[in-house]
Amino acid sequence: MIRLVGILVGIGFTFVVLLAFVTGAYTAATEGLGEETAEKAFHLEAHGPAGGFAHDGLTPEWDLAQLQRGYQVYKEVCSACHSLEFVAFRNLEDLGYSEDEVKAEAAAWVVPDINPDTGENSTRPGTPTDYFPSPYANDVAAAAANNNAIPPDLSLITKARHHGPEYVYSLLTGYQEPSAELAARFPDSVPGPGLYHNPYFANLNLAMAPPLTTDGQVTYADGTEATVSQMSQDVAAFLTWAAEPSLVDRVKLGWIVMGFLLFVTVLAWLAKKSVWSTLKTRKD
């Protein structure tokens, strides 16, 4: 009885889903497999800089000089529009700055506060315990200043995109004029006013004007030549650190854990072998 009901129910579900398949297959046969979109045809996969990042792979290191340069790019360029809300000035000690340098650096930023005498909004120089201030008072102000597109917070940007560090690098170096082919095949995908073409962006056009445009836009203290590619990879590395300051420690600890586990697992295997060796086994 239960099997009979089961067979009927099974045939029922199969019938309905195959009906759906037949209608889908008919549509596909008569109209093809959906429309080709500009995103599918012209979107490019993110790629990292030549030689990759120091934090890549299974033996990652922070390139402190690079992180400091990347921080400088964030401070002088990105921070005009993008916040970094989960990072505090005290975290900058990770980049190799001393406690005094961090204090001085924090003091160079203006953070919002409340006037203790009047209770009114005021500002003061930052201290190491402050977090990076947002460039805008609120989302409405951010949208109003940026053609209705709110610049995303950058503290997690490399974790919030597929292949984040490579994505940031590719996006920053990937601005270009839309190709003639794109304009011919997908006239709607040509950037409108206030939009810029970038094949690494999900829908090919974004509201952010190219932020790094000329070599030497930032003057590096360590003398590194500030090409657009160099600035892009430096800030991508800095944002990777900002998104996950524990990345390098995590992988390093991972090797110790793996080593320990491997040792214990070998012991466990020997123990298992020894315990089972007393049992009779097949004679033939």
Partner 1 sequence: MSFPWAKQYEPTNPVAKFFDEKLPLPRLVYNAVGAGYPVPRNLSYMWNFGVLAGFCLVLQIVTGVVLAMHYAANDAVAFNSVEHIMRDVNWGWAMRYAHANGASAFFVVIYLHIFRGFFYSSYKAPREMIWLIGVVIFLLMMATAFMGYVLPWGQMSFWGAKVITGLFGAIPLVGESLQVWLLGGYAPDNAALNRFFSLHFLLPFVIAGCVILHIWALHIPGSSNPTGVEVKSESDTVPFHPYYTAKDGFGLGVFLLIYCAFVFFMPNALGHPDNYIPANPLSTPAHIVPEWYFWPFYAILRAFTFDFILPAKLWGVLAMFAAILVWFFLPWLDKSPVRSGSYRPLFRIFFWVLVVDMLILFWLGGAAAEEPYVMFSQLATAYYFLHFLVILPIISSIEKPKPLPFSITEAVLGSDEKSVLKNKSEPTA
* Chain contacts with partner 1 (rule: CB under 8 A): 2-3, 6-7, 9-11, 13-21, 23-25, 27-28, 33-34, 58, 86, 91, 152, 155-156, 159-162, 164, 202, 243-246, 250-251, 253-255, 257-258, 261-262, 264-265, 268-269, 271-272, 275-276, 279-284
Minimum CB distance to partner 1 smaller for 25 or for 140: 25
The dihedral of CA 73, 75, 77, 78: what is its sign? positive
Minimum CB distance to partner 1 smaller for 73 or for 157: 157
Minimum CB–partner distance for residue 217 and partner 1 (Å): 28
Give kind and range of the element (H or E) at residue 124. Answer: strand 121-125
Minimum CB–partner distance for residue 18 and partner 1 (Å): 5
Minimum CB distance to partner 1 smaller for 31 or for 120: 31
- Tokens standing for residue 36: 């080709």
If DSSP codes are grouped into helix, strand and coil, which group holds residue 91? helix
Size of the chain, expressed as the number of residues it contains: 284
Minimum CB–partner distance for residue 221 and partner 1 (Å): 27
Minimum CB–partner distance for residue 261 and partner 1 (Å): 5
Q: If DSSP states are collapsed to H, E and C, what string results for 251-280?
A: HHHHHHHHHHHHHHHHHHHHHHHHHHCCCC
- Distance between CA atoms of residues 176 and 196, nearest Å: 8
- Distance between CA atoms of residues 252 and 132, nearest Å: 28
Minimum CB distance to partner 1 smaller for 59 or for 122: 59
Minimum CB–partner distance for residue 138 and partner 1 (Å): 14
Minimum CB distance to partner 1 smaller for 117 or for 276: 276
Nearest to 213 by CA among 234, 232, 233: 232
